[in-house]
Structure 1
Amino acid sequence: MDRKAVRGWIWYDWANSAFATTMLAAVMPVYYEGVAASGLADGAAQSYWANTQSIAMLLVAVLAPLAGAAADLSRSKLRFLIAFTVLGAASSSLMALAGEGDWLLASCLLVLGIVGFSTGNTFYDALLRDGVPEEQRHAVSAKGYAYGYAGGGALLAINLVMILQWEALGFPSKTAATQVVFATVGVWWLLFSLPLFTRWKERPASAEPMRSGPTVLQAAGASFGRIAQSLRSLRRYPELLKYMAAFWLFNDGISTVIVMATIYGAGIGIDSDDLILALLVTQFVGLPATLGFGRLVGRFGAKRMLSASLLIYLGIVILGYFMTTSLHFFVLATLVGLVQGGSQAAARSLYARLVPPDRSGEWFGFLALSSKFTSVLGPLVFSLSATLTGSSRAAILSVAAFFVLGWLLLQRVDFHRGAEQAAARSGDADGPGSGLPPAGLTS
């Protein structure tokens, strides 16, 4: 294992997490509501933002099999990662051109940025499999996750200073300072990606011509075929089926809270500076809280802790309906930080108990891809609710349904029986990859 290259891989998480914090969670939603979508009817900005998220995730879901196939068939995964990084970083920096009323330009650039961010991660994950021994992957992946929290929080803190102290820093207006903030995301992303791009040495390409294997389109077709095969085989794992249905629901609720919270707060009149500062609190609460959540899982069990976290999320959504002040938003942001990372980690560990051990890679791949498709629903429900009721408060309350239904389904899952079902069928040729090319064709 090339330790310098692996350190570069870890730093990439520090680099691209700036997009997740500044562009998706904190600054851009406020800017979209107050500047880019200014002049639109009340509630329209939140609906357009939600629709932008849904369109972006749908594109990512459709592109995922193509990207996964390209990652496995390509002689240079790194080149694909560089290309999507440039796309995401350039889209972020070009957001500086979106001024007052430019909601369509902002939405288009955001879609491109999400495609670059999410699709690029397909190749990023593939590099981990190629360059890190299996017994060390979890530790390296966890370190990257920690660096991501720190990197995203570090730039968000810098960005907050730029926005709050815009006059002292010589910017002509807060809008101008915010536009420069978007430019810093692209620069940060590219700058801290350089250790990976310059140090990573890919395996030598085989001399065998590419025509001897499947094409990217053929491999992508096999990926979609694997989805259908996985859905059919789920009936053989009834506990896994119940858990996946629960996961699709509550995971969509969590992701909707993440991408809609700030623009919702802006829409009901919470001060924009307080919104960004509160999301910074979430970022720095999240790292120690995730570690503490893991200790509680060891004491009380993953199912109990995940169930408790979903009830907290339900409380967050309900309290969000009644939220009126910045203090309320700070409280809710802190609560999100307490459960966000831990709930996701517990959900993954529970899923691992229910899949056949010799097919875990295929089933985790299916979960990742199916979750991309279902993640379209949360923002879409938010948008429809806001449009039909004319109230963003009613829209945020509609997200509660994802947590209620997800929690109820989770209680019906017998994980002991599910583990027995998975072990009993281990080695069967009925998993998501049966009759299809090897699982390595997709990521």
Structure 2
Amino acid sequence: MTADTTDVPGAGPGTPAGPDPDPERRRREQHGWYFYDFACSVYSTSVLTVFLGPYLTAVAEAAADTGGFVHPLGIPVRAGSFFAYCVSLSVLLAIVVMPIAGAAADRTGRKKPLLAVAAYTGAAATAGMFFLDGDRYLLGGLLLIVANAALSVSMVLYNAYLPQIAGPEERDTVSSRGWAFGYASGALVLVLNLVLYQGHESFGISEGTAVRICLASAGVWWGAFALIPLRRLRDRRVVREGGPTVTGWRQLVNTLKDMRRHPLTLSFLLAYLVYNDGVQTVISQASVYGSQELGLDQSTLIAAVLLVQVLAVAGALGMGRLARSFGAKRTILGSLAAWTLTLAAGYFLPAGAPVWFFALAAMIGLVLGGSQALSRSLFSHLVPPGKEAEYFSAYEMSDRGLSWVGPLVFGLTYQLTGSYRDSIISLVIFFLLGSVLLARVPVRRAVAEAGNPVPERI
């Protein structure tokens, strides 16, 4: 068993790691933490949400047989489902790696080196998407799987810093600001992408080359801005309190056994697993729905996602303020009701009508950042002290690692019906069931049973 300790003045052996008591040093570390969202969110926005889905689908269609199927490893897959299946496979890979990375971080206290490896693996795979052209759908699928899994692993380590850099009363605000930084960077890069994509002829490049540059530039951006958190975040010392060192899968088993001692934390994770699966699937499949079902061009999709990014900044900060008045749980439940209404509206969107797609994007933007930021900060109160990375590995499995059911349902629905409208409406169940499960969690008691101080409002 381990106990993480701070390396700040006054921290003694066995003292649980916490925020730096010096306000200036604490703010410096928080600002560095924000910048990892600033670095990696461009992948989620430009690559996963906007460009890669339609582009990889087009590449797969170019390689498809007369029936519209590609055959990776000899398995017949409808070209339109290939992207969704790759997202699911990337999540399954992340499931294997994330808990081990989290346990290793808590055991050694060295989150930063592990964060660096995950971040630059993902950035390199993303930059490699420049070579995705012709009928190289297998290359695109491989790079997507590696980049997506690496992002998930890096987020385990990144999120595990939150209880160590922010006190209980400020976590909603700090978490919301992190998401706001991410959405701001996504908006900035999307503006640059839009300029390049729409003006590709004036730059003397083809449309396909413009898309590949946009994909690769997200990897360069990710790698460049990851340097800031890697300089400012501090690793905490670890004091080992008896018992042999355990590694790999044995540590994972021990972590899962320990989590059984906190059933209310597990109840929240189950609720989050369900509703966040819906959120992640909407994010990854929205551009495919817009291009394939609604017949919208790439410029319209970029502008719609740009609108999401801008409104998500305001939404994350605004919902953070609502949480201070109504509590994080009630605010999240309200956002899930809005998600349900948004998907229902999306089912009835007319094809070839960008204005209605923009209205839908605005609805998504206003609830997207807040629901994610508040879920992260709420969970940080449910983590037993000294087990941040291990428990956040489980959280990240719920956030990204187990978000393979939604894409699988989306892909299977399209494979069976040939309708993306049926695929999008099938995701409503994730938000309805997630709301029911979250409503049943007594969060104040869950915080107390985890051994943490209970905030005035939660």
State if a TM-score over 0.5 links the two structures: yes
Post-superposition shift, 1:346?
Answer: 4.2
Cα deviation digits, residues 300-343 of structure 1 (max 9, x gap): 55454433322221222222222222222211111100111222
Quick one: structure 1 residues 304 and 91, their matched pair in 2 at CA, closer, same or farther if it must change by over 3 Å? Answer: same
Looking at structure 2, the residues matched to 165 and 8 of structure 1 have their Cα atoms a distance apart, in angstroms, of: 35
Change (3 A) 1:161 1:224: farther
Residues of 2 paired with 1:80 and 1:421: CA distance?
A: 30
Give the equivalent residue in structure 2 for 1:282.
308
Answering whether residue 285 of structure 2 is matched by residue 248 of structure 1, we say no
**Separation in 1, partners of 2:83, 2:298:** 16
Letter in structure 2 aligned against 1:281: L
Q: Distance in 1 between matches of 2:446 and 2:157?
A: 33
Q: Who is 2:338 aligned against?
A: 312
Q: Is the 8 A contact 1:15 1:152 kept in 2?
A: no
Aligned positions of 1:90-129 closer than 5 A: 90-126=124-160
Q: Summarize the alignment of residues 14-163 of structure 1 with structure 2, pairs less than 5 Å apart.
A: 14-40=38-64, 41=68, 44-74=78-108, 76-126=110-160, 132=165, 134=167, 138=171, 141-163=175-197
The answer to whether the aligner puts 1:12 opposite 2:4 as a matched pair is no
TM-score scaled to structure 2, two decimals? 0.78
Deviations 1:200-223 (A, max 9, x none): 6757899x9xxx952532xx4222
1: CA distance between counterparts of 2:234 and 2:374? Answer: 34
Q: 1:308 to 1:421 in 2, by over 3 A?
A: closer
Distance 1:200 1:427 in 2: 25
C-alpha change, 1:162 and 1:194, in structure 2 (3 Å) is same
Q: What secondary structure, in the 3-state scheme, does the structure 2 residue paired with 1:279 have?
A: helix
2:3 — aligned with what? none
Change beyond 3 A, Cα 1:99–1:394:
same
Structure 2 residue aligned with 1:439: none
Name the CA shift for 1:214/1:95 in 2 (closer, same or farther; >3 Å): same
Q: Does 2:220 align with 1:187?
A: yes
TM-score (norm 1): 0.80
Please identify, of 178-187 and 293-302, the stretch whose mean Cα deviation from structure 2 is larger.
293-302
Q: Deviations over 1:133-176 (max 9, x none)?
A: 757983655543332221122112111111111112222x1111
Q: Is the partner of 2:200 in helix, strand or coil?
A: coil
Q: What whole-Å deviation, never above 9, does each CA across 1:224-275 have from its counterpart, x for those lacking one? A: 33324535752xx5xx666544332212111111111111212112212111
1:262 aligns with 2:287: yes
Partner amino acid, structure 2, of 1:214: T
Q: What is the CA–CA distance in structure 2 between the aligned matches of 1:329 and 1:24, rounded to whole Å? A: 18
Q: Of 192, 209, 216, which aligns to 2:247?
A: 216
Q: Relative to 1, partners in 2 of residues 1:203 and 1:241: Cα closer, same or farther, differing over 3 Å?
A: closer
Q: Deviations over 1:402-437 (max 9, x none)?
A: 1222234445x264xx634764x5669xxxxxxxxx
Do 2:84 and 2:285's aligned partners in 1 also have CA atoms closer than 8 Å?
yes
Secondary structure (helix, strand or coil) at the match of 2:134 reads coil
Q: Report the CA distance between 1:81 and its aligned residue.
A: 2.5
Kept in 2, the 8 Å contact 1:35–1:99? The answer is yes
Q: Which residue of 2 aligns with 1:169?
A: 203
- Matched to 1:161, the amino acid is V
Matched to 1:254, the amino acid is V
Alignment size in residue pairs = 412
Q: Give the letter aligned to residue 88 of structure 2.
A: S
Give the gaps of 5 or more residues in structure 2: 1-24, 70-76, 453-458
Post-superposition shift, 1:128? Answer: 6.1
Q: Secondary structure at the match of 1:169?
A: coil
Q: Which moved more, 1:355-364 or 1:334-343?
A: 355-364
Q: CA deviation at 1:117?
A: 1.6
Whether the 8 Å contact between 1:12 and 1:196 is mirrored in structure 2 is yes
Q: Structure 2 CA distance, aligned partners of 1:124 and 1:233?
A: 23
Note the C-alpha offset of 1:364.
5.7
Instruction: Give the direction of change, closer, same or farther, for the CA distance of 1:13–1:294 in structure 2 (3 Å limit).
Output: closer
Paired letter, 2:143: L
How far apart, CA to CA, are the structure 2 residues paired with 1:193 and 1:422?
32
Give the deviation of 1:114 after TM superposition.
Answer: 1.1
Deviates more, 1:88-97 or 1:69-78: 69-78
- For each residue in 1:2-24, what CA deviation from the matched residue of structure 2 results, as whole angstroms up to 9, or x when unmatched? 87666444333212211111111
Secondary structure in 1 matching 2:178 = helix
Question: How many Å separate the matches in 1 of 2:324 and 2:169?
Answer: 22
C-alpha offsets along residues 96-117 of structure 1, whole Å, 9 cap, x if unaligned? 1111322211111011111222
Distance in 2 (alpha carbons) for counterparts of 1:201 and 1:296 = 31
Q: How has the CA–CA distance of structure 1 residues 70 and 137 changed in structure 2, closer, same or farther, with 3 Å as cutoff?
A: farther
Identity %: 34
1:388 matches 2:422:
no
SS in 2 for 1:375: coil
Query: Within 2, Cα distance between the matches of 1:260 and 1:242?
Result: 28
CA distance in structure 1 between the partners assigned to 2:116 and 2:122 by the alignment: 10
After TM superposition, give the deviation of residue 347 of structure 1 in Å: 3.9
Distance 1:7 1:294, change over 3 A: closer
Are the counterparts in 1 of residues 162 and 380 from structure 2 also a CA contact under 8 Å? no
Q: Are residue 402 (structure 1) and residue 426 (structure 2) matched?
A: no
Q: Residue 193 and residue 368 in structure 1: after superposition, are their counterparts in 2 closer, same or farther (change >3 A)? A: closer
Relative to structure 1, the CA distance from residue 160 to residue 35 in structure 2 (aligned partners, 3 Å threshold; closer, same or farther) is: farther
Q: Is the contact made by 2:102 and 2:393 (CA closer than 8 Å) also made in structure 1?
A: no
TM-aligned CA deviation for residue 296 of structure 1: 3.6
| Contact 2:311–2:366 (8 Å) recurs in 1 | yes
> SS of 1:99's equivalent?
coil
Q: Which residue type is aligned with residue 283 of structure 2?
A: I
- Alpha-carbon deviation of 1:118? 1.8
Q: Kindly indicate whether the alpha-carbon contact (under 8 Å) linking 1:36 and 1:100 is maintained by their aligned counterparts in 2.
A: no
